[in-house]
Amino acid sequence: MAATILRSPRAVAMSIYVVRAFVRLREELLTHAVILKRLAQHDRKLLEHDLILQDVVEKLLPLLDPPPAPAKRKIGFHEGNR
């Protein structure tokens, strides 16, 4: 904007420099937005995998417990046996 008022080569160069800086800033922000979008996608995918793995672990935990000991018969006569 200074180039329209001052009309000097230096003012024109500075005006171009400022416009290029803003263009580059916009490109960087768009790049960061793309990166943040991809990170959000990866985060959602990881949460889905975490839920699936948690379900698998919950289903496998009972298999790790030792089987119950078989009931032993008591020796001798019991009135309830026939």
Name residues whose C-beta falls within 8 Å of residue 3's C-beta, 6 or more positions apart in sequence: 11, 12, 14, 15
pLDDT recorded at residue 48: 94
pLDDT recorded at residue 81: 55
Q: Are 2 and 15 in contact (CB under 8 A)?
A: yes
Amino acid occupying residue 80: G
pLDDT recorded at residue 44: 94
pLDDT recorded at residue 82: 55
Taking only the tens of pLDDT, the chain with its 82 residues reads: 566 677 788 888 888 899 999 999 999 888 888 899 999 999 999 999 999 999 999 999 988 888 888 888 888 777 765 5
pLDDT recorded at residue 14: 86
